[in-house]
Amino acid sequence: MPISQVIVLAVVQGLTEFLPISSTAHLYLSSWLLGWQAEALEFDIALHIGTLLAVLLYFFRDWVQIIAQGFGARAGRDDERRHNHMLLWLLAIGSIPVGAAGLMFNKQAETVWRNPYVMGVMLILVGVLMWLAERASRQARDLASVSLADSLVIGAAQALAVVPGTSRSGITISAALFRGLDRRAAARFSFLLSTPAIAAAAAKALYDLHKHGGLHAILNAPFLTGVAVSAATGCAVIAWFLHYLRRSSLTPFVYYRIIFGIIVLALAFIRRPA
């Protein structure tokens, strides 16, 4: 894959993985509309590792404190995390539904569901759901108040992200808003909850590559470029998005999803994918 194509798709991945607009839809549609071949397994691994590095680097201190407190130690100064000693286990429990969904529906997600019709519909439906969540949310709770019920509901919502066009952050932030979390706490919990899922996806992709000929295929410039660009872009987007949510709503992303979804469906009917 040419370096220019790697950089474009890595930037798209970094921009859209953590914003509530669906990275899968943007990657697929970018390649489809530009006439590029489907991304190779090696590139898929690079993007997964890059976004995993982004969330791990940005939330490194969070994870140190969460893991330490999960095993009974005292660590960190963040009041929200310090007052929720069970956060590690709530994140673990919340990760179970998406793991089960991935095992059951991975083939469909990678084949029959990966088309512009499904993506266009999901872009619109989840956009409407985000609008409803904004209107319904009390936004009265922070990360310290996250409960087992919250973890189960938000984790179940994350399982829907196996359907292309859904957006992991979009569906989980919406679920958290419905549970009464404020926007910034909803996004932080969403990103923390995404970490095990992204790590599992990267591990599975590495295992698949090992079965198809070995891991030596990833030690090249395009792979390392994809990792670096998607990681750097992802870190910047996380920082910006969390800052944005301090004062602003998800409404611009709602409009973007609905308009983009309509355009995707229109293009799909005019220019049918191969």
pLDDT 10s digits, 247-267: 999 999 999 999 999 999 998
pLDDT recorded at residue 83: 64
Average pLDDT, rounded, for the chain: 88
pLDDT recorded at residue 186: 96
Q: 214 is written with which tokens? A: 């070995």
pLDDT recorded at residue 41: 56
204 pLDDT above the threshold of 90: no
pLDDT recorded at residue 84: 77
- The rounded percent of the chain whose pLDDT value lies above 90 is 59
Is residue 274 very low, low, confident or very high in pLDDT (cuts 50, 70, 90)?
low
Q: 192 is written with which tokens? A: 């923390």
Residue 35 CB burial class (10 angstroms; 0-12, 13-18, ≥19): exposed
pLDDT recorded at residue 224: 87
The Cα 166–Cα 146 span in angstroms is 23
Alpha-carbon distances of 80 from 76, 104, 144, rounded to whole Å: 10, 35, 4
3-state secondary structure of 181: strand
Distance between terminal CA atoms of the chain?
A: 20
pTM over cut 0.85: yes
The Cα 158–Cα 224 span in angstroms is 29
User: What is the Cβ-side half-sphere exposure of residue 106, based on CA atoms within 13 angstroms?
Assistant: 10
- The rounded percent of the chain whose pLDDT value lies above 70 is 90
pLDDT recorded at residue 188: 96
- Average pLDDT on 180-197 reads 95
pLDDT recorded at residue 75: 63
Express each pLDDT in 48-93 by its tens digit.
889 999 999 999 999 999 999 888 876 666 556 556 789 999 999 9
Express each pLDDT in 134-169 by its tens digit.
999 888 899 999 999 999 999 999 999 999 999 999
Backbone dihedral region for residue 248 (phi beyond 0: left; psi -120 to 50: alpha; all else: beta): beta
If you count DSSP H runs as helices and E runs as strands, how many of each does the chain have, helices first? 12, 0
Is residue 215 very low, low, confident or very high in pLDDT (cuts 50, 70, 90)?
low
- Average pLDDT on 96-118 reads 90
pLDDT recorded at residue 48: 83
The Cα 218–Cα 110 span in angstroms is 21
pLDDT recorded at residue 56: 95
Express each pLDDT in 235-247 by its tens digit.
999 999 999 999 9
Backbone angles phi, psi at 141, to 5 degrees: -125, 150
Residue 254 CB burial class (10 angstroms; 0-12, 13-18, ≥19): buried
273 pLDDT above the threshold of 80: no
